[in-house]
Structure 1
Amino acid sequence: MGELLSHLQLGLSVAGSPVNLFYCLVGALAGTLIGVLPGLGPVTTVAMLLPITYYLDPTSALIMLAGIYYGAQYGGSTTAILVNMPGENSSVVTAIDGYQMARKGRAGAALAVAALASLFAGCVATFGLAGAAPIMAKLVLVFGAPEYFALMVLGLVASIAMANGDPLKAIAMIALGILLSLVGTDPSSGLLRMTMGIPELVDGVDFVPLAIGLFAVPEILANLRAPQEHGVLQSKLKDLWPNRKEASRAWPAAVRGTIIGSVLGILPGGGATLASFISYTTEKKLSRYPKEFGQGAVEGVAGPEAANNAGAQTSFIPLLTLGIPGNALMALLAGAMTLHGIQPGPLVMTSNPDLFWGLIASMWIGNLMLVVINLPLIGIWVSMLKIPYRLFGPALLVFCCIGAFSVNNSGFDVLMMMAFSLLGYAMMKWKFEAAPLVLAFVLGPMMEDNLRRTLLLAHGDASVLVTRPISAGILLVAVAVLVLLALPAIRRGRKAAFVEET
């Protein structure tokens, strides 16, 4: 415990510096804004901001990007409650009862419950992150190359399980991501692979144009094609605090939501959205007033909001301890770390303790900032919905082009971004998800390196992967997940769950 407190003291000193406080505030504000605006999610925003982080200190960059992620959970609840339009997928459930509370004149109470539940969950989950991460990092230090390779295989299989839609499409995206990660110079032999005679591909496909092209541009184009108008709730906010009955029903739901979100956030492919849906289902089953759900039950706001924020915090654990991003946004953060020459994984804690503990401590500070700045600025956030998307959509496209160019000052990167934009838009139309592709692209080089080292140490004998107990156990879990996905009952259940989610 004493060692943990000293590490947290180090983190608070790093996160509390004026520069890092500024970037934490920028991330929290930007996250709230993109959470408020439907169609502009944290993945899209982080993808667009990756070029900016190239010029920042790594700690400041990650603090800002992390603030965008958990800040979006706060912003999404504001519009979900006030205008029945979730700014984030994880706030879809909040809209069910939050908007009904607003229609009954309890909008202020619903917003306060959402903010306080998120604050509680964020603080508790961050403390859990601080305690669990060092333990997991020490455990994985005993892993060798076979275990790391097996762990990455499991991460990719988990991304198939959590992908929305046909698992075969997710597998295809993983294969494409691995192929793209292999483009460039072979690190062992020095031979060129799949460069097609293009000199700019000698160093491989750059992560920034890939991320912007697959996530940001297609999302902007889709929103430009179908701009949405929202009717803003006209009633004034009053009683910006839950009454005694609402508070007594909200706090147990917030505690349960925190537990659910903290556990599911650790799982690859879990995160905020899945946690909020499971929390809502749990609260409806446990409630003494199940008929009130859908009519303005306060538990339907407190539980999911606590769950999505806790899931957002603990989803950093696989990235920081195992080096495996559990979802698309974590893959982008892993890309941001590699841009600065930092390898995600257990060694981050020892090689970059300022970054590791500073990032964790900034989450406490950021969650406090979000509560302080969100409730007074509710009117401003809602008024943002009145701005037609056609006014700032083209500006975002220009910003994407500038960002792709600025990293290497290369027009080729802009062309690459355009090519990936066409691919991303086609994937969106044909229901292929970009997240498995990006996860495979990030993990591809690490998988190749660990597989190569495994085969070198075993003199070319690949059976070492199934003769070592830990790697064999991890691969067995991955195979079991694939078998379960192939079962008709599981496939029908996944399809029904995703239809309900959308």
Structure 2
Amino acid sequence: MDIITELFSNLSLGFGTAALPVNIGFCFIGVLLGTLIGVLPGIGPTATIAMLLPITFNFEPATSLIMLAGIYYGAQYGGSTTAILINLPGESSSAVTAIDGYQMARQGRAGPALATAALGSFFAGTVATVLIALFAPPLTEIALKFGPAEYFSLMMLGLVASVALASGSVLKALGMVVIGLLLGLVGSDVNTGAQRFTLGFLELADGLNFVALAVGIFGVAEILRNLENETDREVMVKKVTNLWPSKEDFKAMIAPTLRGTALGSVLGILPGGGAVLSSFAAYTVEKRISKTPERFGKGAIEGVAAPESANNAGAQTSFIPMLTLGIPANPVMALMIGAMIIQGIQPGPNVATEKPELFWGLIASMWIGNLMLVLLNLPLIGLWVRLLSVPYTMLFPAIVAFCCIGVYSVNSNVFDLYAVAAFGLLGYVLAKLDCEPAPLLLGFVLGPMLEENLRRAMTISRGDATVFVTRPLSATLLLIAVAVLVITFLPAVRAKRDEVFQEDA
């Protein structure tokens, strides 16, 4: 009973923070921007959040995180619109939705398809928010008992899991993690303050600018790729009518929505999994358990309800490890951690005790944001359709200019603009080499924390490296990490993994 009372007390504090006019306003801006960049193929929440990080420096911490979170889960909603109307997913997590959603649009059922995506997303988002509210506090209490050795092992597990769940070659993903870790070492030594890997540049004494790296690798690189590969966008439906699904549609979508929500909620917590893996897994499950699998790919409403529910649940439960452990489950969560660091907040379990209004305000804002998304998306479908006609050659130069202004505003340092250009080219080259940049960003964010906990654990144990295997929890986490890495390299698992990501792409 005390736990329930405490939960309601915490939620009351959270809604008190989230319901402040300024936070409601920025939550609205976040979900609106999220929907917009979800609708416009090729931009994505990672690039958008990276671009907006400089602006959040002047906001209150709760306000900035509420807005950035709204962009992330708002993009999951918006991505389904283009997937259904033009067979071009605005988000990679909506790729599976396009399979049956576009066929429904071709059959004159774009309205029910869009409504199914919106309602499934709202239900999944609501359930995922409840799960965050229920499971975040006990996980935080457990995390508070972690010592440096346990944190080091946990971060190693997170990095290994991000490699296992990254698309493409495992060796390339490992290489990206190593590059990220090396970039994270640039700057001053944690203990001695001596400069390392600065190449004589005084601007690198405090390390590489996180905002410049994120904007370059995810923002500028994505823009270069999309300018090179601009796709003709033929809108299947210019005006959507008969939005509300029929009774038969509701009956068909209930079970897939429930299953997709459950699956996405679990997979979203895994590092590197998140929305993309959740949506694909949910679609696969529905197709395999269906009595009429031949309907899939030809306009089955279950093929829209399940992946859309899964990707929204996965997007929101990925906040759990970020809020409770300070471990990012995906690149967006790494950017959220970056936003906290910019605000002078140390990510991890202490956030819940030291900044409860931030912790619970962010959770409560997800309910408000999900409700806003349902009210926004369906009435504004006509506007989103018209936005698809904006040529990228006009849109992207404006975005690049906005990025440069934002990055420069953080430190008023021209060197950061050179860094953005350099990382933009690096990101473009990595894309050409089929190297996924997400593990690089996770390595960059976790690298300094990994080093700090490694050296702290070694200092406490007086140089005894066995501290990582003699402490039970640390040893267990390391064993799981090794097991995940070994399993990933098994031939059968590698073949299945390649098959999954090939189909997902």
> Normalized against structure 1, the TM-score is what?
0.99
| Structure 1 residues 208-235: Cα deviation after superposition (integer angstroms, max 9, x where no partner) | 1010111100100111122222111246
SS of alignment partner, residue 266 of structure 1: coil
Determine if the alignment matches structure 1 residue 494 to structure 2 residue 477.
no
Mapped contact 2:116–2:304 kept (Cα < 8 A): yes
1:258 match = 261
**2:227 maps to amino acid:** L
**1:458 maps to amino acid:** S
Q: How far 1:238 sits from its partner (Å)? A: 2.2
CA distance in 1, matches of 2:289, 2:199: 59
- Structure 1 residue corresponding to 2:206, chosen from 203, 207, 212: 203
| Structure 1 residues 136-194: Cα deviation after superposition (integer angstroms, max 9, x where no partner) | 11111111111100000000001110111111111111111111111111121121111
Mapped contact 1:105–1:235 kept (Cα < 8 A): no
**1:332 maps to amino acid:** L
Mapped contact 2:162–2:273 kept (Cα < 8 A): no
- Structure 2 residue corresponding to 1:482, chosen from 480, 485, 499: 485
| Structure 1 residues 466-488: Cα deviation after superposition (integer angstroms, max 9, x where no partner) | 11111101000111111112212
1:375 match = 378
1:416 match = 419
1:118 match = 121
- Structure 2 residue corresponding to 1:394, chosen from 376, 394, 397: 397
1:443 match = 446
| Deviation >6 Å, runs of 4+ | none
- Structure 2 residue corresponding to 1:315, chosen from 309, 318, 323: 318
Determine if the alignment matches structure 1 residue 245 to structure 2 residue 248.
yes
| Structure 1 residues 308-344: Cα deviation after superposition (integer angstroms, max 9, x where no partner) | 0000110000101111001111111111110111111
% identical aligned pairs: 60
2:361 match = 358
| Structure 1 residues 293-322: Cα deviation after superposition (integer angstroms, max 9, x where no partner) | 111111111111110000011000010111
Determine if the alignment matches structure 1 residue 68 to structure 2 residue 71.
yes
Mapped contact 1:158–1:269 kept (Cα < 8 A): yes
1:7 match = 10
| Structure 1 residues 380-433: Cα deviation after superposition (integer angstroms, max 9, x where no partner) | 001111111001111111112112211000001101111111211111111112
CA distance in 2, matches of 1:395, 1:485: 42
CA distance in 2, matches of 1:278, 1:311: 11
Mapped contact 1:227–1:388 kept (Cα < 8 A): no
**2:242 maps to amino acid:** D
Deviating more after overlay: 69-78 vs 489-498: 489-498
Mapped contact 2:105–2:237 kept (Cα < 8 A): no
- Structure 2 residue corresponding to 1:80, chosen from 74, 78, 83: 83
- Structure 2 residue corresponding to 1:144, chosen from 143, 147, 161: 147
2:25 match = 22
CA distance in 2, matches of 1:303, 1:457: 49
Mapped contact 2:238–2:382 kept (Cα < 8 A): no
CA distance in 1, matches of 2:490, 2:262: 30
1:279 match = 282
Determine if the alignment matches structure 1 residue 289 to structure 2 residue 306.
no
2:156 match = 153
CA distance in 2, matches of 1:111, 1:417: 37
CA distance in 2, matches of 1:172, 1:420: 16
CA distance in 1, matches of 2:254, 2:331: 31
Which 5+ residue runs of structure 2 have no aligned equivalent? none
- Structure 2 residue corresponding to 1:92, chosen from 85, 92, 95: 95
Quote the RMSD (CA, aligned, Å).
1.0
Determine if the alignment matches structure 1 residue 304 to structure 2 residue 304.
no
**1:146 maps to amino acid:** A
CA distance in 2, matches of 1:80, 1:17: 35
Structure 1 residues 208-247: aligned runs within 5 Å: 208-234=211-237, 236-247=239-250
Structure 1 residues 419-430: aligned runs within 5 Å: 419-430=422-433
CA distance in 1, matches of 2:88, 2:422: 32
**2:111 maps to amino acid:** G
SS of alignment partner, residue 193 of structure 2: coil
| Structure 1 residues 31-77: Cα deviation after superposition (integer angstroms, max 9, x where no partner) | 00000011010001011111111111111111011001000011011
Deviating more after overlay: 350-359 vs 392-401: 392-401
2:133 match = 130
CA distance in 2, matches of 1:432, 1:281: 26
Mapped contact 2:220–2:400 kept (Cα < 8 A): yes
SS of alignment partner, residue 407 of structure 1: helix
CA distance in 1, matches of 2:127, 2:174: 35
**1:63 maps to amino acid:** I
2:57 match = 54
Q: How far 1:106 sits from its partner (Å)? A: 1.4
**1:206 maps to amino acid:** N
Mapped contact 2:238–2:385 kept (Cα < 8 A): no
Deviating more after overlay: 19-28 vs 224-233: 224-233
Mapped contact 1:44–1:215 kept (Cα < 8 A): yes
Mapped contact 1:260–1:307 kept (Cα < 8 A): yes
2:435 match = 432
- Structure 2 residue corresponding to 1:456, chosen from 432, 435, 459: 459
Q: How far 1:345 sits from its partner (Å)? A: 1.0
